[in-house]
Every structure is written in C-alpha cells, then in structure tokens.
Amino acid sequence: MGFFDSKSSSDTTTTNKNTTFNNVDYGGGGGGSGLAKNVNLADSTLSVGGDVISTDHGAVAGSLDFAQKAGAANTALTMNLADSAYADTAQSRKLTGDLFNGAISSVNDANKTSLQFLSQNTDRALAFAQKATRSEGGQIVADLTKKLLIGGSIIAGLIFIKGRA
C-alpha cells in the first residue's frame, strides 16, 4: 500500500433528537458587551461535536501506513548518519595516528642527525687537540734538540780549545 493509496470504507451514524429552543436573553437588558445574549441552554452539555459521526477507515489506515513508513525512513536515516559519524571518527583516529607517528618519526630523525653531528664535532675536536698536543711536543723536542746541539757544540769547542792550549 503506498503513501496515498486508500481503500476507503466508511461508517455513518445519525441520531435525531428533538430539541426545544428557549432563547432567553441573559445579557442583562442588552447593555454592555453583548456577551451571553440569546443562549439556548435546553438539552445542552455545552460540548462541540455532535449527532453525526463519520469515519473514513481507509484514510485512517492510509495515515497509519504513512506514519509507519515515515518512522522506518527516519530510522534508516538515523542509522545512516550514525554509520557515517562512526566512519568519520575512524578516519579521524587514523589521521591523528598517522600525524602523530609522522611527528615522532621526525623527532627521532632530528635526534639521530643531531647525535651524528655531535659525534662528528667531538671527533674533530679530539683530532684537533691531538694535533695541537703533538705540535707542542714536537716543538719542545725541536727546541731541546737545538739547545742540546748548540750546548754540545759549545762544549765540544771548549774541549777542543782547551786541548790545544
């Protein structure tokens, strides 16, 4: 059955009632606002509705069918939105994980490169210090050698001169 399909059936009930009208002026002589003038209270329960009741059962069935299909459509839409929200959340978690892992990887690479530079600079500083130490030692040896040669030459010369005299 579609949304607007109707297999109509109807019931009609009619009740006839004889009523005597006693239109009485309760408005207090016609002055003022004019409310409550000519009210017939005979056999009245002061209710709206009435004596003729008609029901279109096809329209009621169609309305119920429409409501059921609308509820099913709303349920399907809600489930679809929930599934989409879950998928979006899962993608967000994956993206966050990828970004975090990328950041950690970058930090680790930077630390590794920094340690390599530190190691290279330390090796260079030690090599420079060793060269500077060798040069100092070499200069001391060279200076001592010169002084020993000069001193030895003077002593040899003095011995030679003393030996001739």
> Tens digits of per-residue pLDDT, 61-111?
888 889 999 999 999 999 999 988 888 888 999 999 999 999 998 988 998
pTM attached to this predicted model = 0.34
Instruction: Return the closest-CA partner of residue 42 out of 57, 22, 67.
Output: 22
pLDDT over 90 (residue 165):
no
For the stretch 118-135, pLDDT in tens is 889 888 888 887 777 666
**Spatial separation of the C-alpha atoms in residues 48 and 13, rounded to whole Å:** 17
What's the whole-number average pLDDT of the chain? Answer: 76
Task: Give the pLDDT of residue 71.
Answer: 93
Instruction: Return the closest-CA partner of residue 11 out of 62, 53, 61.
Output: 53
Contacts of residue 146, Cβ cutoff 8 Å, sequence gap at least 6:
none
The DSSP 8-state label assigned to residue 12 in this structure reads E
